Amino acid sequence: MSEWKTIWALLVASTYTLGSGNIALAGDEQHDLHLADWAQKLGRAFVQVADQVAPSVVVIEVAHPIEPRINNGGLEDHPGWNQLPEEERRRLEEFFKERQDPAEPKKDDSNRSNQNPRDRFDGKGSGMVLSREGHVLTNYHVIEAASRIRVRLRNGRVFKAHVRGFDSQADIAVLHLIDAPASMLHPIKTADSDAVQVGEFAIAIGAPFELEYSVTYGHVSAKGRSTVTLSRNLDHDFIQTDADINPGNSGGPLVNIRGEAIGVNTMIRGLNTGIGFAIPINMALEIGQQIIETGTFRRALLGIGIQTLTENYELNDLVSSISSGVIVSSVQADSAAAEADLRPADVIIAVGGKPVASAQQLKNQIRSKTIGNPVILDIVRNDKRRQVEIVPREWTRPEVAEITANKAREIPVRPLGLKLRKADETGAKQFGVTLTEGLMVWEVEQDSLADNLIEPGAIITEVNYQAVRMPLDFADIYKDVDLKRGMILVFKDLLGNSTYVILKEREL
């Protein structure tokens, strides 16, 4: 009965969310009947959420410039290396890079072919579709320092993406898909994350550990977590969840039982801890919408250091007239706060008439204020209430790694690279294959579109679903082919197996 009790506890907890009403029990038989019935309903609810949300979730693959190999003491050979979050691997690599002996000989890559890529796809994350215009919301750390970005939809189609803009302080970025048809894009539904309650169901969908479109569920464990990172300068107001969030989930949605996004999955507190964090969707959309409209996010700045009053026991004891607010711990020289005569030890209790009780609440109120427009702060100084008018200035963005994904890339023009002739006995004997009607591949040029996709000796039987028997058949079809879309070659390989390849100019 212990398993049934566990299920029953879940069902009772979900009664309000699923709108099921109260369940009256009369005896063990009715108890078990209700358990089975509501277990099925709960299971169907999770299935429906996955079906509803999955088309709005995308897989983001990111390329980074190839750098000289770093001597990291063989950590890449450790079985747990690839299980570390991408940001942790990069941090360790930077650690070893800074300590690498300058006299250590570097690998000679002077013989590398000019055709070899200067970057490689080595990062993966998740995202969610915001609009049919092709805007995708994700984490900034997913696309940090990206040289190329490609996005895969649920239907398998892959599109190149540019970075519309980002806000590194909140770890938010917006991508724009290139040439993605609106009919293929399914914008995600969103909820009011301010109304999210601790204890309600939370479901994460993304691509953890290369396992795309994985669904995990748990609960909202806490709200308003702003001290889970070492930097107090970052703008974070996390939703905490025990739904499994792993490397690759970053940027994907955390949704409620109705399939509405309540957050953007962004970080974990160590592997296998059962603690994950998501950026509230209200905050993400506030920043994302301005990025969509202007290409950037202008953050208002007061120029003060802040601390929640209840976290400073000594000052809290000295301020008797209030029980909550935000302490001005420092005032930057030549800042908006200095001009407004804010002083250290002042306690801000409201912004524009809206009460603030924590440092993060103050950040939330100030973040999107119009630069240059005055704002009224209610403060307490020496146990006396007063108002201060302050004119926010624009926050100066810190330097971050360059993102080159938006820059035009020179795509080498490469021929098909196929030398073809009508399949005959001579060719069949030379390559040791069974003779079939079609065009025999005699040579494949190196670094051509066909290189590594088809071998000499293969016999092409169809091109774009049309039978080919003579080289002229191939030429007639090829003259109307758009290689940006690709052409399909059906052929028999050297073992006689029928298969196909797509020859295409690849920009992704």
Strand partners, 63: 121, 148
Tell me, yes or no, if 20 is annotated catalytic: no
Q: Concatenate the DSSP letters of all residues of 205-262 into one string.
A: EE-GGG-TTEEEEEEEEEEEE--SSS-TTS---EEEE-S---TT-TT-EEE-TTS-EE
Position 18 scores a pLDDT of 42
* Per-residue pLDDT tens over the stretch 64-98: 988 655 555 556 555 566 556 666 666 676 666 66
Q: Please tell me which residue in 14, 168, 250, 358 is annotated as part of the active site.
A: 250
Alpha-carbon gap, residue 508 to 505, rounded angstroms: 9
Domain coordinates of the chain in residue numbers?
A: 2-55, 303-391, 418-503
Q: Do domains 303-391 and 418-503 have the same CATH topology?
A: yes
Alpha-carbon gap, residue 433 to 450, rounded angstroms: 20
Alpha-carbon gap, residue 451 to 351, rounded angstroms: 64
Residues in the chain: 508
CATH architecture of 418-503: Roll (2.30)
Position 407 scores a pLDDT of 85
SS3 for 408? Answer: coil
Assigned token pair, 308:
């929640």
Q: Look at strands 487-492 and 459-463 and give their pairing.
A: antiparallel
Q: Please tell me which residue in 64, 135, 141, 186 is annotated as part of the active site.
A: 141
Q: Per CATH, which fold does 303-391 belong to?
A: Pdz3 Domain (2.30.42)
Q: Look at strands 347-351 and 354-355 and give their pairing.
A: antiparallel
What does each C-alpha distance from 473 to 438, 457, 485, 488, 507 come to in angstroms?
10, 19, 20, 14, 28
With a cut of 70, which residues of the chain have pLDDT below it?
Answer: 1-33, 67-91, 93-117, 209-210, 227-233, 268-274, 410-414, 507-508
Alpha-carbon gap, residue 356 to 378, rounded angstroms: 10
Alpha-carbon gap, residue 281 to 235, rounded angstroms: 14
Position 35 scores a pLDDT of 75
Position 88 scores a pLDDT of 67
Q: Please tell me which residue in 171, 237, 346, 378 is annotated as part of the active site.
A: 171
Tell me, yes or no, if 250 is annotated catalytic: yes
What pTM value is reported for the model? Answer: 0.74
Instruction: Tell me which H or E stretch contains 58.
Output: strand 57-65
Alpha-carbon gap, residue 43 to 303, rounded angstroms: 51
Position 446 scores a pLDDT of 83
Tell me, yes or no, if 135 is annotated catalytic: no
Find the Cα–Cα–Cα–Cα dihedral 397, 401, 406, 407, rounded to 10°.
120
Position 267 scores a pLDDT of 75
Strands (E), 352-475: 354-355, 375-381, 384-390, 393-394, 418-422, 439-444, 459-463, 466-467
